[in-house]
Amino acid sequence: PFNLRACVQDAIDHLAPALENREVVFNLDFPLDGGTLHGDRFYWDQVITHLLEYAVKETSDRHLTIQVAAQWR
């Protein structure tokens, strides 16, 4: 088990060098405890990093808002 919000934040921190000269805002919407996910943290780090990196690279606008949300049901 791992904290999903912390995993997303780590991916954002990892992308910091690629975000230079860009105005990127990340809106994180998670349960109060950040959400616990049972799985391979390394795998999810890779998936989330690639999704965020792709969103940044494929948008030519210097101003970008990315929302990452999770809901537990």
**What are the pLDDT digits (tens) for 45-62?**
999 999 999 988 888 787
- Average pLDDT along the chain: 91
Is residue 73's pLDDT more than 80? Answer: no
Residue 37: what are its φ and ψ, rounded to 5°? -120, 135
Task: Tell me the mean pLDDT in the region 60-67.
Answer: 87
Task: Report DSSP letters for 2-52, one per residue.
Answer: EEHHHHHHHHHHHTGGGGTTSEEEEEEE--TT--EE-S-HHHHHHHHHHHH
pLDDT tens per residue, range 2-47: 999 999 999 999 998 888 888 999 999 998 888 899 999 999 999 9
Please tell me the pTM assigned to this model: 0.86
Residue-wise burial string across 26-64, b where 16 or more C-beta atoms lie within 10 A, e elsewhere: beeebeeebbebeeeeeebbeebbeebeeeeeeeeeeee
